Amino acid sequence: MKGYEIIAATNGMVLAGDINEEFIGITQDSRLVQPGNCYVAIAGENVDGHDFVEMAIAKGAKVVLVSNDGQYSNALVIKVDDVVKALGKMAHYLRVHNDLKVIGVTGSVGKTSTRDLIANVVSQKFTTLATKGNYNNELGLPLTMLNYNGEEVMVLEMGMNHENEISYLSKIAQLDVACITNVGTAHIGNLGSRENILKAKCEIMDGNIGALLIVNGDNDLLRTVKYPNYLMVGFGPHNDYRALNVQSKLESSEFDLILGNQMHHFVIPTPGEHYVANALIAVGVGLELGIDIELIKQGIATFKLTKNRHDIIKLEGLTIIDGSYNSSTDSLKASLKMLAAYKNRKIAVIGDMLELGEYSRELHKDVGDYLNELNIDIVYTVGKETSVIQDSYRGVVYHFDNNEELLGDLIDTLEYNDVVLIKGSNSMKLKNVVEGLVKKYGEN
């Protein structure tokens, strides 16, 4: 993107440099600047990016975006009123001035795995730019888009905590295909009801009402949504694409799908039936983009899930399913079901699910009810909210107020070849429990 395009998009003011300067790659972290990049100076709560402008220029930044006045040299420096909003305007400008397809993914759970599946399917035929990590908000999505380097397709994850956030992102991206994985209870404390969550997720269509919308048709709320260009996928007979003969194994999942008059077999290198629903969305995207079914199968069979999303860690005499990055009722239940498939002794470590507001007690108690349907040997809970699980769960459960006490007791309890699921909201810091077990037992 060239300097004069940035000015056209943002109405920015040049403080230094040549407006014909062009950048490739963009970052808000001065430590990650590479020669030719654009560095964006964001004033955060604890760190002001403007303090590192000279460092970024010294490392080779060709273009710098700021919101403060200053004296600069050796780079094109553009001042805007609000750097984050300016990034959104730049990303939108890039989108409408380039010939490419843009895919968007949102949902209460499964956004990242679906994004990864779609990206790997699409990349079998097209050059592809996809969201990395959790760059799925008003800052992360534009930064992803502005790392564009001529790719044919973008696959963008869209996250939200409140209404109107996905609407903003979808208007920047102007999607060709929009995907909604699920409407559950994540962030229900902010939005008030699942119906409001549905409305917020459907904002993904605000940027282009004519886009193809692909949804999990087995979700009770998504099943009620109708758009002119609409596709439902899932397990039920009402779906446009329906998974048949589903098998969830310890290290993979498999299913069949009828397309036309032919049956196709798919293998996903990740256990859990919930990944089948996500893979069906990827199939829908692939077919919409004209990708051959054999290439779609290959993309699904070779995808790799982003780290920290259900990593299976093999230790000496211990298997850990690491779900410590985040948690909601739907993702927790899916993880518990996956744990229950193991034949070894099974231990679930459950931390609080957060942002549930007045629904917190009810939803945590519901987890206890669900545990009664599964064959889990021992349950550990930690935090304020999970204490109610023992009110409804009839099995062996131990509750702790902090991770340190839990880890000590867990280590004393573990037996050879145990399988341990560790699942909770990120701020519960259950990653510390994972790291404690890895330190104790050592990775193979």
Name the segment(s) of the chain with CATH classification 3.40.1190.10.
98-301
The CB density around residue 344, as the number of other CB atoms within 10 Å, is 14
For 1-60, the DSSP string reads -BHHHHHHHH--EEEES-TT-B---EES-GGG--TT-EEE--B-SS-BGGGGHHHHHHTT
> Residue 263 is encoded by which pair of tokens?
């049956």
CATH code that applies to domain 311-441: 3.90.190.20
User: What single-letter DSSP state applies at residue 428?
Assistant: G
CA distances to 26, 75, 274, 373 from 337, rounded to whole Å, are 41, 55, 10, 9
What is the total residue count of the chain? 444
Yes or no: say if 180 and 99 are a contact pair by the CB < 8 Å rule.
Answer: no
Helix (H, G, I), strand (E, B) or coil at 324: coil
Place of tokens 């902090």: 402
> Residue 408 is encoded by which pair of tokens?
């000590």
CA distances to 26, 255, 257, 430 from 235, rounded to whole Å, are 41, 10, 10, 33
CA distances to 11, 232, 427 from 174, rounded to whole Å, are 21, 21, 33
CATH code that applies to domain 3-81: 3.40.1390.10
Name the segment(s) of the chain with CATH classification 3.90.190.20.
311-441
Name the segment(s) of the chain with CATH classification 3.40.1390.10.
3-81
- pTM for the structure as a whole: 0.88
Alpha carbons within 13 A on the beta-carbon side of 338: 28
Judged by phi (left if over 0) then psi (alpha if -120 to 50, else beta), residue 383 lies in left
CATH code that applies to domain 98-301: 3.40.1190.10
pLDDT 10s per residue in the chain (444 long)? 999 999 999 999 999 999 999 999 999 999 999 999 999 999 988 899 999 999 999 999 999 999 999 899 899 999 999 999 999 999 999 999 999 999 999 998 889 999 999 999 999 999 999 999 889 999 999 999 999 999 999 999 999 989 999 999 999 999 999 999 999 888 888 888 999 999 999 999 999 888 999 999 999 999 999 898 999 999 999 999 999 999 988 889 999 999 989 999 999 999 888 899 999 999 999 999 999 999 999 999 999 887 766 788 999 899 999 989 888 888 899 999 999 999 999 999 999 998 888 999 999 999 999 999 999 999 999 999 999 999 999 999 999 999 999 999 999 999 999 999 999 988 999 999 999 999 998 754
Rounded Cα gap, residues 125 and 375, in angstroms: 43
For 213-256, the DSSP string reads EEEETTSTTGGG---SSEEEEESSTTSSEEEEEEEE-SS-EEEE
